[in-house]
Amino acid sequence: MTVLIGVSTLVLGGLAIAGWVAAVADSAPNLNQRSPEVPGGNSQVFASDGSSLGFIHSTLLRTPVPGTQIPTALKHATVAIEDRRFFQHGALDYQGILRAAVRDVFNGGSTLQGASTLTMQLANQLYLPHHQRDLRYKIIQAKLAQQLEKAHSKDWILDQYLNDVPYGTVGGQTAYGVGAASQIFFDKPVSQLDLAQSALLAGMPQAPSEYNPFITSKLATKRRSDVLQAMVKSGYITQSQADVASKEPLGIKRNAAYEERRQPYAFDYVVQQLHERFCPGRPFTASCPKVDQGGLKIHTTINLQDQQQAQSAVLSHEGGSGNPAAALVSIDPTNGHVLAIANTSDYSQSSFDYATEGQRQPGSSFKVYALMTLIHDYDGDPNQTFYNSHFLAQGWLPGYPTYSVHTAEQTYQGNIDVTHATIVSDNTVFAQLGVDLGMNKVDATAHAMGITTKLDGNPAEVIGGLTQGVTPLEMADAYATIANGGWHIPPTAVDKVAFPDGSVVNMGTPPKKQVFSSAEAYEAISVLKQVITNSGGTGTAANYGCPAAGKTGTAENLENAWFVGFTPQLSTAVWVGFPNANTPMDNGFGGTLAAPIWHDYMSSASNGYCGDWSQPSSQWQGTAFTGPHSGGSGQNAGNGNGNGNGNGTGNGTGGGAVNPYYNPQLYSQPPQGPPQVRVPTPRTGVAPPTGFGTGRGGGGGGKKTR
């Protein structure tokens, strides 16, 4: 009777357990109700020619590869050591489950060990990575594994497993899948692994840290031997093959493929644009998983040939010990594509990018925004609008008692038109013009053309006295608005982004907005051409024999030199200066230091193109603009004995003593404090140079600019 009661109890207990198992399985979600948690993949960046620029930094490394690229030896080694009867049994190994259940009982039911087939491991990896490891978990895992086997072939399951399982961590980066693991452990594609290397890799998922060959080579070697013997037992290789493979060195080699990046400054700008697009509002230093671990294929607009020519141009003139630094940005004005970003700096020493992050005073290159305001807002003809070129002493402008303005040479030309004032870069004419136009209008024009820096209406802005500087990228973008006939197209370094699911996001055709008519742009081009071609122009050093237009810029005390110019195909900005402070440069005019760099780059990057702008279908008709300060005064207020007459033909270039009202201490250069910029992860190294960034400007002093 006692035996019968015991048997009955066991039967009833078994039925109760079976009922509980069935209830758990029934209540568990089905495969089609869950989304797989596939480990993120590394996002790769490509140049415009399709060549790789590198991978976006991530602590997770994963490069999925098709099963056809995974060596048969690696597949066999994995099956032999992880699930020897994988191709014979179904989704579950019932003997293994029973053994694991017994262990669970003796362990107090807190965890469950072993018993997992490759299919069950894949189900766990994809659908249950964060689930508590208990008997309930095992039941759910078994259910999902069975559904996986019904939905997919054994080969698909094995390939998916090999692409998702973690293989270990090197340098803080964990490799998921054989594609990444082969690279970080052997420095080669997985398709090139031999038998010994395949066996080493196959043995790692069970204990990635314990069997990491860079950490414990002896344990890794023993584990490799165990895998080879498992392959012999499974009939995949002979004992002789296993013996030969066991004697081979581990063959491990550190790989930097996931760390190295070509053109790192351009690369960082690409990452910045991706973060702004896919993680808007999030601090740039924060992670953006969709980008960093999204497995994206990012096709950029960066032209490696232009990039090389830009780098060569800046380095051939500047850089090196004791010399100023230089930066260049070049944009295709027809579509806003950023083609080249170059610096004389060394990225290994500083990741701060002068070209896209360096905010410096633009000097007279900012006068172009007043020229465009004159043409567009007032239909003012630069050839018919006259101002008197003369020293503007303190008090000339009510409300700005210390604001005085002089020319770079401190010589003056009497009454001249705005076209000529642009060619010779006369500060005094543009200071008066800016006030008459209204600095709010000039600032609005600058912003509409592409300047993103905050402007505050300071009258000194028209000749480069900004509270906060501008970057070469901003200037190249803004000038491109003239080059393409009046349309502003936001700059983009990203053409398109391909996602793992096959979808594509197009970023290469940003929305454009018309700022000027083609006739207005053509009028400005005709003026700016003469800066380069006129013998008295400040930008003659930029002339490479083809139609081009542009403007020089030199900040106070020769501390920043600029040349920004364009052709129908390229808009390029060049800056030269000392990066860590506003330090005067020898002969540091924009036409002397920046224009030659622009010349060298444009003459090579144009690739033989020497075309001119087509005349617009309708001709622009302007009239003389008049304002409180415009027109001839009948006298020359130059710094010496220069003479002028009432009809504006005086040359004002006579010699004489320096004007007694000139006081260099009254010329305000807004100081440049530390840059307030976002540094992309994982950029490290020297802090951004202190000479860049925002600063608190004074009331706007006279500028020694050209």
Share in percent of the chain as helix, strand, coil (round to 5):
40, 15, 45
Strand-strand pairing, 44-46 and 386-389: unpaired
Please check the confidence at residue 493 and state whether its pLDDT lies above 90.
Answer: yes
**pLDDT band at residue 682 using 50, 70 and 90 as cut-offs:** very low
Task: Provide the percentage of residues in the chain whose pLDDT is more than 70.
Answer: 79
Position 19 scores a pLDDT of 54
Question: Among residues 590, 647, 631, which one has the least CA distance to residue 432?
Answer: 631
Q: Which residues of 290-364 form beta strands (DSSP E)?
A: 297-300, 325-332, 337-343
What is d(CA 128, CA 312) in angstroms, rounded to the nearest whole number? 53
**309-496+505-623: same fold as 58-246?**
no
* CA 520 to centroid of chain Cα atoms: 33
Q: What is the average pLDDT across 3-13?
A: 42
Q: Is 464 helix (H, G, I), strand (E, B) or coil?
A: coil
Strand-strand pairing, 560-566 and 571-577: antiparallel
Q: What is the average pLDDT across 679-705?
A: 39
Position 23 scores a pLDDT of 53
Please check the confidence at residue 632 and state whether its pLDDT lies above 90.
Answer: no
Please check the confidence at residue 642 and state whether its pLDDT lies above 70.
Answer: no
Q: Map tokens 């060049």 to a residue.
A: 574
Instruction: Please tell me the least confidently modeled range out of 61-70, 108-117, 357-366, 469-478.
Output: 108-117
Q: Indicate left, alpha or beta for 513 from its phi (over 0: left) and psi (-120 to 50: alpha).
A: beta
Q: What is the average pLDDT across 519-544?
A: 97
Q: Give the chain's radius of gyration (CA, Å).
A: 35
What is d(CA 301, CA 654) in angstroms, rounded to the nearest whole number? 52
Position 98 scores a pLDDT of 59
Give burial (CB, 10 Å; 0-12/13-18/19+) of 665: exposed
Position 666 scores a pLDDT of 26
Q: What is the DSSP letter of 560?
A: E
Position 140 scores a pLDDT of 76
Position 674 scores a pLDDT of 32
Q: What is the average pLDDT across 261-278?
A: 95
Class of domain 58-246: mainly alpha
Instruction: Please tell me the least confidently modeled range out of 39-48, 109-118, 196-205.
Output: 109-118
**pLDDT band at residue 254 using 50, 70 and 90 as cut-offs:** confident
**pLDDT band at residue 82 using 50, 70 and 90 as cut-offs:** very high
Please check the confidence at residue 60 and state whether its pLDDT lies above 70.
Answer: yes
| N-term to C-term CA, the chain | 113
Residue scoring higher pLDDT (661 or 471): 471
Position 320 scores a pLDDT of 82
On whether the 309-496+505-623 domain is CATH 3.40.710.10, my answer is: yes
Instruction: Please tell me the least confidently modeled range out of 110-119, 280-289, 605-614, 651-660.
Output: 651-660
Please check the confidence at residue 411 and state whether its pLDDT lies above 50.
Answer: yes
Please check the confidence at residue 431 and state whether its pLDDT lies above 50.
Answer: yes
Residue scoring higher pLDDT (175 or 408): 175
What is d(CA 61, CA 64) in angstroms, rounded to the nearest whole number? 10
Position 386 scores a pLDDT of 97
* Average pLDDT over the chain, rounded to an integer: 83
Taking a C-beta distance cutoff of 8 angstroms, is the pair 126, 37 a contact?
A: yes
Position 647 scores a pLDDT of 30
Instruction: Please tell me the least confidently modeled range out of 26-35, 183-192, 415-424, 473-482.
Output: 26-35
Reported as a single tens digit per residue, the pLDDT across 360-387 is 999 999 999 999 999 999 999 999 999 9
Strand-strand pairing, 513-514 and 487-488: antiparallel
Residue scoring higher pLDDT (258 or 403): 403
Position 569 scores a pLDDT of 97
Please check the confidence at residue 625 and state whether its pLDDT lies above 50.
Answer: yes
Please check the confidence at residue 145 and state whether its pLDDT lies above 90.
Answer: no
Q: What is the average pLDDT across 17-41?
A: 59
Position 684 scores a pLDDT of 36
What is d(CA 56, CA 296) in angstroms, rounded to the nearest whole number? 9
The pTM (predicted TM-score) of the whole model is 0.79
Please check the confidence at residue 41 and state whether its pLDDT lies above 90.
Answer: no
Residue scoring higher pLDDT (162 or 700): 162
Residue scoring higher pLDDT (704 or 554): 554
Position 90 scores a pLDDT of 78
- Checking 159-164 for CB contacts under 8 A at 24+ apart, the result is 159/66, 159/67, 159/70, 160/122, 160/126, 161/78, 161/118, 161/121, 161/122, 161/125, 162/67, 162/70, 162/74, 162/75, 162/78, 163/62, 163/64, 163/65, 164/38, 164/39, 164/122, 164/125, 164/126
Reported as a single tens digit per residue, the pLDDT across 278-317 is 999 877 667 788 898 888 999 999 999 999 999 999 999 9
What is d(CA 552, CA 454) in angstroms, rounded to the nearest whole number? 22
Question: Among residues 383, 335, 441, 280, which one has the least CA distance to residue 621?
Answer: 383
Residue scoring higher pLDDT (665 or 562): 562
Taking a C-beta distance cutoff of 8 angstroms, is the pair 268, 680 a contact?
A: yes
Indicate the domain borders of the chain: 58-246, 309-496+505-623
Q: What is the DSSP letter of 658?
A: P
Position 393 scores a pLDDT of 93
Reported as a single tens digit per residue, the pLDDT across 683-694 is 333 444 555 553
